[in-house]
Amino acid sequence: SLSAYAIPRGLARRPVYNIAHMVNTIEQVDEAMRLGANSIEADVTFTANGTATWFYHGTPCDCFRWCDRHEEIPALLDYVRRTTSAADGKYNERLTLLFLDLKVTNVLPQYKYRAGVDIAEKLIRHLWSGVYTWNAMNVLLSIRSVRDGDVLRGALHTIYRIMPLMLYKTGKVWTPSLPTDRTA
């Protein structure tokens, strides 16, 4: 077994995430936790005008998965808050990261910033409101392309404006989708 002596200095404090993929319903959160995940990845879908509506992946998706399972955003975020933020929450200290894959390809360019504002407002209202900063869920926001950067800007500006301490609980990443993204 690994001991503290076998791990190089400084690495022992870095988190390791067992991320359950495509967790888009309350039932799937419970299943992921039962299977040993400490992080969940959920897919946020938006309308063309930038309103975050559902946790939903759709097809195509991973083999042997239910691609069409979905949950309204407030319901899933409220559930994660209730089960992780309270001292007696059943996933308190077990579920440590909510990884949000922001599916914004169908959002019109003029509404990308608004999409970020909308998901940030939903995170604030349904995940973080009434929760002490140190008990709040860590959230990673992911976009597919640097061309969707306005989504992250909208989200981060909104969090900074309304609940700035939650910026410490927020990470952001973009996933390269095309070779041209690296030069954009």
In a 3-state reduction of DSSP, which class is residue 88?
coil
In a 3-state reduction of DSSP, which class is residue 90?
coil
Cis amide linkage into residue 60, ω under 30° from 0: yes
**What is the spatial distance between Cα 29 and Cα 77, in angstroms, rounded to a whole number?**
11
Contacts (Cβ under 8 Å, ≥6 apart) of 150? 112, 113, 116
131 phi-psi bin (left φ>0, alpha ψ -120 to 50, beta other): beta
Residue 88's identity, in one-letter code, is D
How far apart, in Å, are the Cα atoms of 75 and each of 71, 72, 144?
A: 7, 6, 25
Catalytic residue among 57, 70, 126, 157: 57
State the DSSP code for 75.
H
Active site residue 21: yes
> What is the token pair recorded at 9?
């200095």
In degrees and rounded to multiples of 5, residue 116 shows phi and psi of: -65, -40
Catalytic residue among 21, 70, 126, 157: 21
Active-site amino acid positions: 21, 57
